[in-house]
Amino acid sequence: MTFQAPGFGLIQDIDVRLTVELGRTDLHLRDVLALGEESVVMLDRLVDEPLDVKVNGKLIARGEVVAEGNRFGLRILELVGPAQPALEA
């Protein structure tokens, strides 16, 4: 599924940053400084929860991680639009 709107062709080549947020946590600086190679940081998201997909910091979709060969990818599960307000943590 692709999004096409009248006049959208004028801006479709603009670079944007797409990020996938696995989860969040709050840490004290001393805890960040204590992180090492074997450290585990617990996040606020459950294993089976969809990941947030953001463009320039704005939530646009939710998805899940997929693996193909030796690379990771993202499968979009749902688009988040004005009719579906996003819950921000």
> What are the tens digits of pLDDT across the range 25-66?
999 999 999 999 999 999 999 999 999 999 999 999 999 999
The backbone torsions φ and ψ at residue 5, rounded to the nearest 5 degrees and listed phi first, read: -130, 155
- Collapsing DSSP to helix, strand or coil, 44 comes out as coil
The overall pTM is greater than 0.75 = no
Please, are residues 79 and 60 in contact by the beta-carbon 8 Å criterion?
A: yes
Q: Which domains are seen in the chain, by residue range?
A: 15-79 (2.30.330.10)
- The predicted pLDDT at position 29 comes to 98
- Collapsing DSSP to helix, strand or coil, 73 comes out as strand
Q: Per residue in 3-20, pLDDT tens?
A: 666 677 888 889 999 999
